[in-house]
Structure 1
Amino acid sequence: MSTQMTQAFRTERRILRRPEVEAKTGFKRAHIYNLMKAGKFPKALRLGVRAVGWDAAEIDQWIEERLNDRT
């Protein structure tokens, strides 16, 4: 089984709100949205008229890819 598949099975599938994404990445709101606009960060999911969230699995995968890129 590949590392990505193993990671996907271990990752809890839930929706993260912005404060959780900021805590996981260390980025603030403006930087997250700039990365999204540039296509370098997972897109937010619309949850309501004024609410968005991110798929926890996508955020965890994005973090893992950044860590793998540094080697």
Structure 2
Amino acid sequence: MVRKVMRKPEVLKATGFSNSTLYGRIAAGRFPKPTKLDPDGRIVVWFEDEVEAWQKGVVERDAEAV
């Protein structure tokens, strides 16, 4: 199975995060870590299914809080 990937601009658009918020949440363990596609780490991607699972978790958590 081939997993779809998202580059950083797509992740920022999908989440509404700023660059610093994105990396702050990654550092805090509150958002999926990116995957490096090259040994130098210049090309990083997020797996679309992981981002979607995170979004679903946020929606479910917020629904329980209401």
- For normalisation by structure 1, the TM-score amounts to 0.79
1:66 is the counterpart of 2:33: no
Matched position secondary structure for 1:53: strand
Instruction: Give the length in aligned residue pairs.
Output: 60
Which deviations, in whole Å up to 9, do the C-alpha atoms of 1:14-60 show, x marking residues without a partner?
11000000011000111111000000000000012211010000000
Identity %: 33
Show the counterpart of 2:30.
Answer: 40
1:54 is the counterpart of 2:21: no
Q: Where in structure 1 do 4 or more consecutive aligned residues deviate above 4 Å? A: none
Q: For 2:35 and 2:12, how far apart are their aligned partners in 1?
A: 16
Q: For 1:47 and 1:13, how far apart are their aligned partners in 2?
A: 13
1:14 is the counterpart of 2:4: yes
1:31 is the counterpart of 2:27: no
Q: For 1:13 and 1:32, how far apart are their aligned partners in 2?
A: 21
Please list every run of 5 or more consecutive structure 2 residues that lacks an aligned counterpart in the other structure.
none
Matched position secondary structure for 1:57: helix
- For normalisation by structure 2, the TM-score amounts to 0.84
